[in-house]
Structure formats: structure tokens, C-alpha cells
A and B are shown apart, each in its own frame.
Chain A
Amino acid sequence: MLKKGKIHFFTGKGGVGKSHLSMNFATELASAGHNTLWLEFNQNPSEHKALGPVSFQPKKISENLSVASWNGEDCLQEFVKYSVKLRLIYETFYRSKAINALIKAAPALREIAFLGYLTSHLRDVKPALDYDQIVVDAPSTGHFLSCLRVPLALLDVSDFGPMGFHCRGILKVLRDPTLTTIYNIFLAEPLVVSEYEFLKNELHKSGFESKPWFNKALSPKLLEDLNGLSAAEFETHLKAIENLQTLAQQQNQVLKGIKDKDLILTSDTSIEALKIEFKEIVKSLN
């Protein structure tokens, strides 16, 4: 059974299909009955075609699915608004030029506000989100790593007081596999695979575990069909088929190198096929 409030991060090298996969994943969670929030962090919200305008406040797009686009400043504002009970003080805070300059410049404040708000419901800290499942279209490898390392770095700066309290709480949630899953997505391309390995190892060094997700794979059924072509047909030298053969070999090689057992695999053909795959994935989580 999926824990209530669980967070699912989608990350990997740029171009592996994070947005596409996370959106499909969230949609499938929602249709399986979970009240789901899909959110993107620090992305350019204007570039959504299908969703229309998406902003900080979640927008309901179907019965169980809401979407939002967050940045650190918004999360910080939400936290300050909640923590500072007096409206006048809150307004004074945000009217201060010095504070605005500081928030813009301060390293780590925005990241910690984001991670803080995202995990608040799992730490009994308010303001808290109220969703069964949260799916995060996260930044790619390098940015994701440095974002996750912010609470670690801040603990080094300030072990005591509120900052220390929040950082320890956030790390506890992010390191608990029943509360957080990090999907590390890769493709059958050498550069992408080495970045996958890099991210996996770096996350592990910082105390976070990730799950491998192989995207744009040739499906088992397609591989079977490719094998069904006889040697005679190979000699026709059709480029489309030859390319698929090469891809199949490459995929084979990559899969041999990936030692993780619970590998998730999605292909990149029709939307219908993808839906079936996601149904299976979500079922396996339950």
C-alpha cells in the first residue's frame, strides 16, 4: 500500500522525458483513486501547451489530479505567511528592500523553502499540503543533486535552531523509502547511462537512494517482432529496420550493465501502449 503523502521525484539527464513520464505517472495515480498533486520546480511555466497556465496555487485538472508550478520564492512566502501570525509584520517583512534583495541573493534559502514546504505534511510542520500522492517533475541531474544537498550544507552552517530542525526533518523524509522515491531516468545512450550511474552514486554518497527507470526502450513485444525477421530480410538493407536492430543491441548491452533488479521500463511509441505500461507500474506500487 502506498503511504499517504508519498513524494515521487522524477530526475535524470536533460531530455530523458522527465515531464512526460511524471505527468503520465501522476495521471495514472489519480485514476487509481489517489488524490494526486503534480508539480514542477523552477521550470518555465509558460511552456506548457496541454495544461494551460500553471502557477503556485494548485489547479485541479481532473477529479483527482491537481497541477502546480513552484519556485523557491513562492514556497518561502507561503512559509513566512504562515509562521508570522501578524499580518502587519508579514507585510513589513515583504516590503523591506533589504529582505527582498536578500531573498533574491541568499544561497539555499529558496531550495530549503521548497524542500520544506514539499515535505511539511510528512513532518507535522505547517503549512502542510493535503494530497495522497505528490509527483515532482524535478530539475535534471546536477541541479537536482545540489538542491538535495542544500539541507546537508545548511546543517554544516547551522546545526541548532529552526534551520537545523527543518534540515534534519527534511533529510529524514527524503531518506525514507516509504515516504520518498527518486526515479533516476535514463535511455539506451552511453552518455545518458553514465550520467545515470553518476547520479545514482552521488545520491547514494549523500544518503539518498534512487530507482532506475529506463525510458524510450524498445518494448519486449517489439524486440520479439524484430527477432522474427529472417536473415533474408536483413539483406534488404532497409535503414529503418537496421537502425532498430542497432538500437536493440545497444539496449541489450545497457541492460546487461544495469545491475538493479527492480528496473522500470517504458517505451516511446503510442499513447495507448504507454497507458498500459503505466497501469502496470502503478499496480506494482500498491
Chain B
Amino acid sequence: MKSTQKETKVEFFLGSGGVGKSTISALSAVDLAIKGQQVLIATFDPSLRLKDLLVKDKGYLDPTLKQNLHVHILDPKAVFEELLSQVDPAVATSVKKNKLFANLIERIQGVQEFSSLYFLNTKLKSQKYDLIIIDTPPLQNSLDFFSSPEKLQDLFESTIVKLFIGDFNKNWLEKLFRKTRDIAFSTLKKLTGLEFFEQLISLMKALETLQPIILDTLKESQKILDSKNTKYKFITSYELERLDQALLQIEQMKLKNIDISTLIVNKFESYEIQDIESSVAISNKKGLTTLKEHLEYLKKSHLDKFNKIQSIKENKKINTVLIPNFLAQISTESDLIQQSKVLYA
């Protein structure tokens, strides 16, 4: 009997901030949704315009899109509130009352990354989608996306409760440990003040109750990250510095067994060298020296960048997609559909 459950594919879009990661992952999602797949895209903090375009109360105008495209804006605080609903209600209430949680939960290292993995885990279980696209949070180095959950895991594995409230009177080693901890804590209390210190400790104790769920999620996530159904796409803009960074990060990720399947170069300018040279000649003839210098600079930088891409293509054997610099903006739903067609033409 044929199962109606779907084998869901996962795509991660990686890259530094400002290269068009959210826009391009959204365009990919739209493209596949139009072609009839059930697509879910999870994105962090997209630009306001993109958010307006993607999140529609009444659904999309296009019937196919309305049926197939699902968008989720990731919010770490909401994720943690959901986690809390799975533990002792008394603990949940105390965490929600904690001012550090209310104001600053997003500042805990690894929380954003964890949130997207948690979301992915939950949605994969539903088996409703052909494809889930994860637009990763902007990071200096994309590799950090994979190490942040590790940091969170370290934190919870060091069994915080034991460190904070454990009773260490059993032997001399534990007594020593307790003594160290007490000195350290009274130092911190003196430096930050009692109020802050108490809020911090109560937050840590409460978060400790989430440890089993967090560790489970991270274990499941590792399976998804290693799965053959998961693909990684790296987005960069058409700038020499960014291309160099991309190259470096792709190599670093390879060492961690993360294979980038596609390099997407956004804002690509496709000049013909002949065209630039003719432009130089015209400006030269007219005595427009600034223009001439600018065009010569353009030519040199274009050649440098183009050669860099060629060498990535050849040496790394990575599929490369060049996205032209549209110059036009995406401001309506039909722009979104139109540009998604251009993207994967």
C-alpha cells in the first residue's frame, strides 16, 4: 500500500548578513510551491518588506501559492515558551516571570540556532511537506550555525543544577568545590548586585528543567543534519571580499562534513569585457576622465571576481548559480513569482 506520508527534503540556506539570503530562500520556496510542492520556509527576522510579502493573513492571491506555500517567522522566545509548556507549570510560570527571560532570552548564545532546529524537528514529524527551507540567522561565519547548538549542549550537560544548588558535603573534594563556588558567587553578587544575581540564578535553575528536551532535540537534529535528504546552499554577493570569505567558509564546513551543494552568487553583474572597453573608449574620446577611470576599475574588479567564481567552480566542484543584479525591487506578490521564475530559469 502506498503511503500518503511524504519524505521531506530539507534545505539550509547559509551565508553572511546582507547578501540576500532571506530574499533568495524565499524565491526558492515560491518557485517550488508554484511547481506544486508543499513548501515550508522558516526565516529569521526578514526585512520588513519581505515579511509583508510573505506573511499574509488572508493567504496569497495566487491559488497555487495559497495552497502550497507555508511561511513561519522564527521567534526564539515563542519556541522557549512552547518548551516550557511541556514542563511543570510551576516552573514555567516562574520562568515567564523572570525579567531576564522576558527581556533577554534571545541573548543566550545558541538560542536562535537552537530555535530553528527545534522548529525543523517538530515540522519534520508532521510529514506534511515535500520541502522545508531553513533561512539561517545571520552570522559572521556560517560554521557558527553548527557550533552554536553545541555550545548550548555543553551548557546543559554541565548539569547546572548540581553546580548551583548541589549539596557537596560528602567528601573533601566536594567541600572544596562548594567553597570555590561560594567564593565565586559572592564575587559575582558583589559585582552585579543582588537583584541581578538572583534573577540570573533563578533563570538558570529553571532552564535546567528544559535540559532533557533540549538534549533530545539536539540529538534528533544531528540526524537531520547528516541525512542524505538534507542539502546546504551557500549564498554570497558578487564582491571579491565576500567571495573569498565564502571560499574559506566552504572549506571550513567541509572539514566538519558539511558539504555545500550549491554556491549562489547574488547581485551578479554580467558585463561583456568588450562592452566595458567600448565604454572606456567613448569616455576617453570625450575627455571624461572620472568616468573612464571608474569604468577601468569596473573592468578590473569584474575580471577578478569572475575568475574567482570560475576557480571555485572548477576546484570545489560545486554547482554555481549566478543571480543577476535585478536592480528592480520585489514589492508585490506577482514580483515574487516573476523573480522566482527568473532565478531558476
Q: Give the residues in chain B near A105, CB-CB below 8 Å.
A: 108-109, 155, 204, 207
Q: Give the residues in chain A near B109, CB-CB below 8 Å.
A: 104-105
Q: Give the residues in chain B near A15, CB-CB below 8 Å.
A: 16-19, 237, 239, 242
Q: Give the residues in chain B near A246, CB-CB below 8 Å.
A: 327
- Are A101 and B155 neighbours in the complex by a CB distance under 8 Å? yes
Point out the residue from B107, B141, B188, B288 that lies within 8 Å of A229, measured CB to CB.
B288
A15-B237, A153-B103 given as contacts; is B269 within 8 A of A80 (CB)?
no
Point out the residue from A92, A93, A153, A198 that lies within 8 Å of B48, measured CB to CB.
A198
Q: Give the residues in chain A near B49, CB-CB below 8 Å.
A: 190-191, 194
User: Cα distance A150–B283 when bound, in Å?
Assistant: 53
User: Could you give, for residues 193-209 of chain A, a 1 whenever the CB lies within 8 Å of some chain B CB and a 0 otherwise?
Assistant: 01100100000000000
Report the minimum CB–CB distance from B300 to chain A (whole Å): 11
User: Cα distance A229–B295 when bound, in Å?
Assistant: 14
Which residues of chain B in 86-128 are interfacial with respect to chain A, using CB atoms and an 8 Å cutoff?
99-100, 103-109
A24 close to chain B: CB less than 8 A = no
Report the minimum CB–CB distance from B332 to chain A (whole Å): 13
Which residues of chain A in 218-236 are interfacial with respect to chain B, using CB atoms and an 8 Å cutoff?
219, 221-222, 224-226, 228-229, 233, 236
Report the minimum CB–CB distance from A139 to chain B (whole Å): 9
Select the residue from A43, A99, A236 with max chain B CB neighbours within 10 A. Answer: A99
Q: Give the residues in chain B near A96, CB-CB below 8 Å.
A: 180-181, 183-185
Secondary structure call for the A interface: helix
B278 closest partner in A (C-beta): A238
A97-B158, A225-B283 given as contacts; is B48 within 8 A of A194 (CB)?
yes
Q: Give the residues in chain B near A106, CB-CB below 8 Å.
A: 100, 108, 200, 204
User: Cα distance A156–B106 when bound, in Å?
Assistant: 16
- Are A99 and B18 neighbours in the complex by a CB distance under 8 Å? no
Selecting from B28-36, B56-64, B190-198, B253-261, the interface stretch reads B190-198
B342 close to chain A: CB less than 8 A = no
A105 closest partner in B (C-beta): B155
User: Cα distance A239–B279 when bound, in Å?
Assistant: 8
Report the minimum CB–CB distance from A66 to chain B (whole Å): 22
B275 close to chain A: CB less than 8 A = yes
Selecting from A157-165, A172-180, A257-265, the interface stretch reads A157-165
Report the minimum CB–CB distance from B103 to chain A (whole Å): 4
- Are A241 and B140 neighbours in the complex by a CB distance under 8 Å? no
Point out the residue from B184, B192, B269 that lies within 8 Å of A92, measured CB to CB.
B184
User: Cα distance A42–B17 when bound, in Å?
Assistant: 14
Report the minimum CB–CB distance from B184 to chain A (whole Å): 4
User: Could you give, for residues 292-328 of chain B, a 1 whenever the CB lies within 8 Å of some chain A CB and a 0 otherwise?
Assistant: 0111011000000000000000000000000000010
A14 close to chain B: CB less than 8 A = yes
- Are B18 and A240 neighbours in the complex by a CB distance under 8 Å? no
**Can you offer 25 A-B residue contacts whose CB atoms are under 8 A?**
A14-B17, A14-B19, A14-B138, A15-B16, A44-B140, A47-B141, A89-B187, A92-B183, A95-B180, A98-B160, A102-B200, A105-B204, A154-B196, A159-B195, A161-B194, A162-B192, A190-B329, A191-B23, A194-B48, A222-B290, A222-B294, A225-B288, A228-B286, A236-B282, A269-B293
**B contacts, CB < 8 Å to A:** 16-19, 23, 45, 47-49, 99-100, 103-109, 138, 140-141, 151, 154-155, 158, 160, 163-164, 180-181, 183-185, 187-188, 190-196, 199-200, 203-204, 207, 237, 239, 242, 245, 248, 269, 271-272, 275-276, 278-279, 282-283, 286, 288-291, 293-295, 297-298, 327, 329
**A contacts, CB < 8 Å to B:** 13-16, 42-44, 47, 79-80, 83-84, 89, 92-93, 95-99, 101-102, 104-109, 111, 140, 142-143, 146, 150, 153-154, 156-164, 190-192, 194-195, 198, 219, 221-222, 224-226, 228-229, 233, 236, 238-241, 243-244, 246, 250, 269-270
